[in-house]
Amino acid sequence: MSIPKNLIELTNISKTYKTGEIEVKALQNISFSVEKGEFLAIMGPSGSGKSTLMHIIGALDKPTSGEYFLDGKQVEKLSEDELADIRNEKIGFVFQFYNLLPRTTSLKNVSIPMMYGGVEKTERIKRAKKYLEMVGLGDRLYHTPGQLSGGQQQRVAIARALSMNPSIILADEPTGNIASRQAEEIMEVFQEINKKGNTILMITHEEEIAQYAKRIIHIRDGEIDEDRHNGKQKLVIK
């Protein structure tokens, strides 16, 4: 079997959840690939399977069947320790509700993944300042989340996601909890990050937010309904 050359390669990924005798098919035969440097939005109504798909891509869950290669490694065959290394080193996560420590400064919030990753303190501070400046918060290093707007808190979360120099950013509804003007600013930050070479996969239910991505995949009832690039239909799987 040849190893895929794409950064992400999903082949016939299915996920079934069992509750007693009831089976729920969250994903059915999902296949697509993502090249390094892509900016991909995954859209779909509630219950479509997009969050399940993101959890599998983020090595937070394993498929019931199918193959998932990340940077040449077959993820579903990795040990828990190897999966933890992937989540810490290759993937940066951005969530809808920020997940910041409330009484901790921006600088320290961004430093947390590096602390667990064994990065030396001086380097942690250097990197944290660098990424906070990158997202426009160089003057908010010592502010706690309560002293920041929702958009600023999300910028701190983005800087934190970047702190371990991951090749992939996974963003789950990153603008879902902030005002529309701040949402535009956050999406512009993501575009700048993408220009610097990071691959971005983003879940959103908002078409206007998805338009910031270079490619949009629609999920419906656990299947890919549409895959388009630059507004043009690229692939439909039924």
Do the domain assignments include residue 30?
Answer: no
Q: pLDDT tens for residues 9-25? A: 999 999 999 888 899 99
Size (the chain), residues: 238
| Average pLDDT of the residues of the chain | 90
CA 158-226-13 angle, 5° bins = 75
Please report whether residue 184 resides in a domain. yes
Residue 170 lies in a domain: yes
Q: What is the CATH number of the domain that holds 106?
A: 3.40.50.300
In a domain, residue 16? The reply is: no
151 to 7, 29, 97: CA distances (angstroms)? 30, 36, 11
pLDDT of 235 strictly over 80? no
Average pLDDT over residues 197-215: 93
Is 29 domain-assigned? Answer: no
Query: In b/e form, how buried is each residue of 27-45, taking b as 16+ CB within 10 angstroms?
Result: bbebebebeeebbbbbbbe
Tell me if 199 is assigned to some domain: yes
Summarize the confidence of residues 71-76 as an average pLDDT.
90
Structural domain including 49 reads: 37-60+79-235
Contact yes or no for 167/90 (Cβ under 8 A):
yes
pLDDT value of position 3: 54
Q: Supply the pLDDT for residue 98.
A: 85
Q: Write the CB contacts of 13 (distance below 8 Å, at least 6 apart in sequence).
A: 27, 29, 30, 31, 53, 56, 63, 65, 66, 67, 68
Determine, yes or no, domain membership for 153.
yes
Instruction: Give me the percent of the chain exceeding a pLDDT of 90.
Output: 71
Q: In the chain, pLDDT over 70 holds for what percent of residues?
A: 94
When divided into structural domains, the chain yields a total of: 1
Q: Which pLDDT score, from 0 to 100, does residue 96 have?
A: 84
The alpha-helical segments, DSSP class H, found in 9-101 are: 50-57, 80-89
Confirm if 215 and 39 have CB atoms less than 8 A apart: yes
206: in domain: yes
Q: How does pLDDT run across 84-100, given as a tens digit for each residue?
A: 888 888 999 998 888 89
CB 94 within 8 A of CB 154: yes
Alpha-carbon torsion (132, 54, 186, 39), positive or negative: positive
Give the residues across from 39 on adjacent strands: 200
